[in-house]
Amino acid sequence: MNSMVCRRRGLLLAAVGAAFAGVVPGAITPALADDPAVAPIQRLTDGLLQIMKQGNATPFPQRYASLNPVIDQVFDLPLILRESVGPTWDTLPADQQKMLQEAFERYTVSSYVNSFDSYNGQQFIVSPSTRAVGNDQVVRTEIIPRSGEKHVLDYVMRNSNGGWKVVDVLADGSVSRVAVQRSDFRRLLAKGGAPALAESLRTKSAALSG
């Protein structure tokens, strides 16, 4: 598998949260709206821009530490994990749930840090308006490289406990990160339960961190 394909899959499953091979977001547009569902995505792009400008010259753990609190604030990682695992989640002991939560957070943040690792003038444009999907709101972003095709990421936002957080990411407007994870996670759970899934996430995180 070539590097472009690997990078595409990593971003789709990340983290986070979520771009495509060879396309790294760059210059961030100013805040364009007061919509509370848009504000978290603006925080995310600001955080990504910071680690991109640091680049590989800054050690991975330092960039990870910088982005980790941003991911925690912007994404509802516990909900994303529960929906990816499915009904099995409620049957897992508390210690296994905690184990998976820690491994999943590490994997999500590592995916973003690994994928957004350089800056050379691309644009990441956050739409000032949202569209409603049931009780959720969708925030569209466009990733525009200096040359080549742009890509679209739709962040599905849900208002929980008085704040809007990401609960899914749609790559190019249609490919659901949660749906892709659900297929992978449930296959691993069927083979070896929570320990197998946690070990897979840890292995991927280690590879992403170099």
pLDDT tens-digit map of 128-180: 989 999 999 999 998 887 777 788 999 999 998 779 999 999 998 789 999 99
**Residue 137 bridge partners (DSSP):** 132, 157
List, for residues 8-17, the tens digit of each pLDDT value. Answer: 444 444 433 3
Q: What is the DSSP letter of 63?
A: H
Tokens found for residue 68:
């980790």
**Domain of residue 141, residue span:** 3-208
CATH number at residue 97: 3.10.450.710
Starting from the edge strand earliest in sequence, which strands make up the sheet with 27-28, in order? 27-28, 123-133, 136-144, 151-160, 163-171, 175-176
CA distance linking residue 61 with residue 104, whole number of Å:
17
Mean pLDDT of 17-38: 50
Residue 28's pLDDT is what? 38
Mean pLDDT of 42-61: 93
pTM attached to this predicted model: 0.83
- How many domains does one find in the chain? 1
